[in-house]
Amino acid sequence: MTETPKPNVPSNIVVGAKVKILPSAKKYATGQAIPAFIKGSQYTILQRNN
């Protein structure tokens, strides 16, 4: 069985942090494509998994 590696989450990404999805971003860590309307916007981290 092949297990998909989990992406490393930078330690400075904490719940409540503000992050921006860069316009050049292509895919989420899950491999799904990032829709154009998401790119360039700022979001607040609500949950973090290690």
Mean pLDDT, the chain, whole residue set: 85
50 located within any domain: yes
> In this structure, is residue 7 part of a structural domain?
no
> Looking at residue 33, what DSSP letter applies?
B
Q: What is the pLDDT of residue 49?
A: 77
Q: Which residue range is the domain that position 29 belongs to?
A: 14-50
How many domains does the chain divide into?
1
B/e letters for 5-37, b = 16+ CB within 10 Å, e = fewer, are eeeeeeeeeeeeeeeeeeeeeeeeeeeeeeeee
With bands split at pLDDT 50, 70 and 90, how would you rate the model's confidence at 50? low
Residue 5 lies in a domain: no
pLDDT (tens digit per residue) in 2-30: 666 666 666 778 999 999 999 999 998 88
User: What is the per-residue pLDDT across 34-44, written as a single tens digit (0 to 9) for each?
Assistant: 999 999 999 99
> What pLDDT does residue 5 have?
62
